[in-house]
């Protein structure tokens, strides 16, 4: 008999002429020779059902002449697991399909969990604070309506409906393993199972990775005022908040010519720079320059510029910040000694993220306003010409573009000769 074999994706098609009394294992061998796919790496399907018994003949599977056989390649050794999973899913689908509306619970019998009274469930959670806390963590949409019976019932019934639709859709897909959507669902379930297994393994062998790592802070004094400094080797410069600068009497040294915008994880406005401020660490006075930020959570941040200057070493084994150039060291603060803004919790971290997003938005808006303002000022300054029309006409007569000529005249304060020199130098520069 003639058979057409096609992959589930439809990418590969093979035509074979086979005896209907051939055993499945022999059929796999013939197919392997024809397709170069190892026999142990292929599973066949007929009428949406997997062919699992290698000793059975093709006729016993009711395969007829000119039938189409589907096949799926799997990893070596995974055939048994796949066949078992498909058989289990098909069995569950059949059992659930047999449980129709006729299987109603007897009067007075205990209802299934999905048919429990929403008010009873609500009272159970209200009577058990521990279960209520779990509900708040795992199902916040339902927990927020716990004190309102009607809203709780509505939310619960809505969630049940979604779960039932999802379950029905799953059963519908599993009834046809050849359906691409069913293949996607199986792939997603396998992927999530692998992710959960990986997480469970991590929780067993490296549970510390799920804990909170507290940042590195040290005690210091700025102009004799005690404060706590955050050690950040990933920051390019040493910074100080405006509030801390006012508290430590540093604002009088602020040089606003160094104002700008600090860009990193977020965006913050730099008010200026204090070029030399005495900071005391471990009894030693160090002259340090600080960039003052307008809205900075941390009082002081020691950046890479200072760490490099004093050859600092972050020694996590001894839990100390060591200054190689000065041969001194200071311990990092314990969790209890950290400032309030550095003590992260689950809720605090979320709130901090929200606040950072708000700060970032405000900073970007302020930066856009200032950029627009500076652009307007620049245009106004450009409008007041620093060059004469006669000079501009002479440069244009030489063959240079008018807009380029205006730019060079402005840049050179109306000096025609310098502008011509700059334009000629640009024209003689080879284009890359």
Active site residues: 232
CA distance 406 to 414: 9
CA distance 247 to 148: 49
Which positions ≥6 away from 385 have C-beta within 8 Å?
414
Which tokens is 340 given? 């309030």
CA distance 225 to 72: 73
242, 294 Cβ separation under 8 angstroms: yes
What does the DSSP assignment read for 267-301? Answer: EEEEEEEEEEEEEEETTEEEEEEEEEESS-SSSEE
Closest CA to 3 of 70, 55, 72, 54: 70
Which tokens is 238 given? 């040493």
What does the DSSP assignment read for 229-268? Answer: EEE-TT-SS-EEEHHHHHHTT-GGG-BGGG-EEEESSSEE
Burial of 251 (0-12, 13-18, 19+ CB in 10 A): middle
Query: Helices marked H in 4-102 — which ranges?
Result: 24-35, 79-98
CA distance 357 to 374: 25
CA 336 to chain centre: 30
How many helical (H) and strand (E) elements, i.e. helices and strands, does the chain have? 13, 15
> Do strands 42-46 and 2-7 pair parallel, antiparallel, or not at all (unpaired)?
unpaired
Specify the 3-state DSSP secondary structure of 128: coil
182-199 core/surface letters (b: 16 or more CB in 10 A; e: else): beeebeeeeeeeeeeeee
CA distance 215 to 339: 11
What does the DSSP assignment read for 390-423? Answer: HHHHHHHHTT--HHHHHHHHHHTTT-HHHHHHHH
Closest CA to 292 of 309, 275, 267: 275
């Amino acid at each position: 008999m003639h058979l057409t074999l096609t992959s589930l994706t439809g990418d590969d098609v093979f035509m074979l002429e086979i005896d209907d009394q051939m055993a499945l294992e022999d059929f796999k061998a013939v197919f392997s020779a024809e397709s170069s796919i190892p026999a142990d790496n292929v599973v066949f399907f007929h009428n949406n059902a997997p062919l699992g018994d290698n000793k059975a003949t093709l006729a016993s599977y009711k395969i007829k002449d000119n039938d189409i056989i589907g096949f799926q390649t799997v990893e070596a050794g995974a055939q048994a697991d796949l066949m078992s999973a498909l058989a289990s899913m098909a069995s569950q689908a059949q059992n659930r399909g047999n449980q129709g509306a006729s299987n109603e619970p007897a009067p007075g019998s205990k209802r299934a969990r999905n048919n429990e009274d929403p008010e009873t469930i609500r009272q159970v959670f209200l009577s058990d604070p521990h279960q209520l806390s779990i509900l708040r963590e795992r199902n916040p949409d339902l927990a927020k309506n716990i004190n309102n019976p009607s809203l709780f019932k509505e939310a619960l019934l809505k969630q049940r409906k979604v779960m039932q639709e999802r379950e029905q859709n799953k059963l519908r897909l599993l009834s046809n393993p050849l359906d691409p959507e069913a293949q996607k669902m199986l792939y997603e379930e396998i992927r999530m199972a692998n992710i959960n297994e990986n997480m469970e393994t991590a929780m067993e062998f490296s549970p510390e990775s799920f804990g909170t790592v507290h940042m590195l802070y040290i005690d210091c004094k700025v102009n004799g005022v005690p404060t706590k400094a955050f050690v950040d080797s990933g920051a390019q410069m040493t910074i100080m908040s405006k509030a801390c600068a006012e508290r430590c009497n540093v604002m009088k040294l602020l040089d606003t010519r160094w104002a700008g915008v600090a860009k990193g994880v977020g965006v913050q406005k730099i008010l200026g720079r204090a070029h030399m401020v005495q900071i005391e660490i471990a009894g030693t006075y160090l002259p340090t320059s600080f960039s003052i930020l307008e809205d900075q959570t941390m009082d002081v941040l020691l950046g890479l510029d200072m760490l490099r200057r004093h050859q600092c070493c972050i020694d996590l084994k001894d839990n100390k910040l060591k200054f190689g150039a000065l041969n001194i060291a200071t311990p990092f603060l314990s969790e209890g000694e950290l400032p309030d803004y550095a003590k992260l919790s689950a809720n605090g971290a979320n709130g901090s993220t929200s606040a950072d997003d708000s700060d970032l938005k405000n900073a970007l808006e302020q930066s856009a306003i200032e950029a627009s303002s500076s652009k307007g000022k620049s245009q106004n300054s450009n409008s007041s010409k620093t060059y004469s029309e006669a000079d501009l006409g002479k440069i244009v007569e030489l063959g240079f573009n008018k807009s380029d000529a205006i730019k060079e005249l402005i840049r050179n304060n109306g000096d025609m000769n310098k502008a011509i020199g700059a334009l000629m130098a640009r024209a003689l520069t080879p284009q890359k």
